[in-house]
Structure 1
Amino acid sequence: FFSFVLFLGIAASMQAQEISKNAIGIRIGDNDGFGTEVNYQRALGDNNRLELGLGWRSADNFDAIRFTGLYQWVWNIDGGFNWYAGFGAAVGSFDFDDRFVVGRDIEEFFLNAAGTVGIEY
């Protein structure tokens, strides 16, 4: 009974936040082998959206490209401060030229599951 009353209280106090209908951004980093990523977000409802990303890296011995698609839920913390979580998939390829072993070049295609959790303002 207590859980039900708590759920009703939380549900009654929730407010629909205003997420942007369209957004574009750039992610700069190198923790997963991809340098720069361009992202596009499209609102699908009051609290969910689709995020599409294109990441690439070009270096002397490593080149890669990745396309990512994520479905996200967005919850308001305060004002325009939100947190989000979602899931999706990524597809891409990379080319690695080993400088230390002559003739050892690796070219691979990949498909993987993706997840995301974060905060935004």
Structure 2
Amino acid sequence: MNHNLIRMLPGIEGEELIYLQNLTEELTESELQTFISIYSGKRVRSDNLLIGSIVGLFGFAGVQRFMIGQIGMGILHFFTAGLCMVGTIIDLINHKKMATEHNLKIASETLHMVRMLNG
């Protein structure tokens, strides 16, 4: 299987790369291409989440939570000024972990979607 396609995703590294390789090892070439095209559109790069956290710190609190689909937490951060800035600072420190957790969840959902599409 050609897992070099996975390595070509921008910003992919470490735990996410290993997880994706294990998750997609049984996919055919066309299923893998479908998986990558869907997954690449939904995943969040950790550096983008870092930028979102910085924006949350100095402006629109909660933007980093909206980026990873946590709408309720985003609204809570917005109306509480990032939980009095403490929550935003924690998100700033943990941006890589948040991005990885989000991406692993998205990868599992995308694999399920690809399997449903290919019957």
TM-score, with length taken from structure 1: 0.27
Higher strand proportion (structure 1 or 2): 1
Which structure would you say has the larger RCO, counting Cα contacts within 8 Å and 6 or more residues apart?
A: 2
Higher helix proportion (structure 1 or 2): 2
Greater Rg over alpha carbons, structure: 1
TM-score, with length taken from structure 2: 0.27
